Structure 1
């Protein structure tokens, strides 16, 4: 019985590792990497709530990523016209980042592509297995949220 649990655990770990590798091998969505989409989406969400642009340090804290990494991502997004930087009117030392119209468009397209991908998965699995997968993912999330030492 214990051996069976270990085999199942190994199978789950293999599946999770494969998913982690998946976004590295899959072609980028809308010419953006998975990480860039997350950064762009986080900037947009912050601005929707706070109305001001976000500082690099705030973005770094939200995403729990080192500031130099965020700076590289933002530089890349800015070069391609997806974000813009502006000096903070109240604190001239601070620079705030906002999503441009081009960035909004690419986020919308990325969201549509992701939704189409999930709809394709539902079609592939069928209603029963899709419902089962959704329930299992929810349970898995709750397990790891309530047992933080497991990750």
Structure 2
């Protein structure tokens, strides 16, 4: 018997199912990141920046990292030309972080690879199941986010 075979549907507890799903998603992110010399945390950073320009404090909250870790993460992305710091109009002492043109191009490329990998992972689900999965995931994320605030 192959011990690495996929478990039968319904055979996992919720905790096991979520953990296994997390491993699957991390694998997809890791493979896409490796193609572009990005770690998973760098992918998360770029994903956050694709539609907003947060402050360093907001980035720290989004990524659940301390200030020194965020500073190093942004510094490395800035050295690669993927992000830039811009003055914060509301706080003259602060700044916001945004994608550069090169960063946006990388987000489109890596994002497309990630989306293809994720869609391949759910190809066995019909449209109603995909919608249900998206709704449940959204609800879990909203509850977890509210609990952290």
Q: TM-score, normalised by structure 2?
A: 0.65
- Aligned equivalent of 1:12: 14
Where does structure 1 differ by over 6 angstroms across 4 or more consecutive aligned residues? none
Q: Which has the larger radius of gyration?
A: 1
Structure 2: any 5+ residue segments left out of the alignment? 1-9
- Is the Cα–Cα contact under 8 Å of residues 28 and 34 in structure 1 kept in the other structure? no
Q: TM-score, normalised by structure 1?
A: 0.65
Name which of 45, 48, 52 aligns with 1:42: 48
Q: Distance in 1 between matches of 2:89 and 2:140?
A: 44
Q: How many pairs are equivalent? A: 133
* Shift, 1:24, TM fit: 5.9
More helix by share: 1
CA RMSD of aligned residues (A): 3.4
- Is the Cα–Cα contact under 8 Å of residues 55 and 97 in structure 2 kept in the other structure? yes
Structure 1: any 5+ residue segments left out of the alignment? 1-7, 48-53
- Aligned equivalent of 2:99: 99
Q: Distance in 1 between matches of 2:136 and 2:117?
A: 22
Return closer, same or farther for 1:125/1:9 CA change in 2, 3 Å cut-off: closer
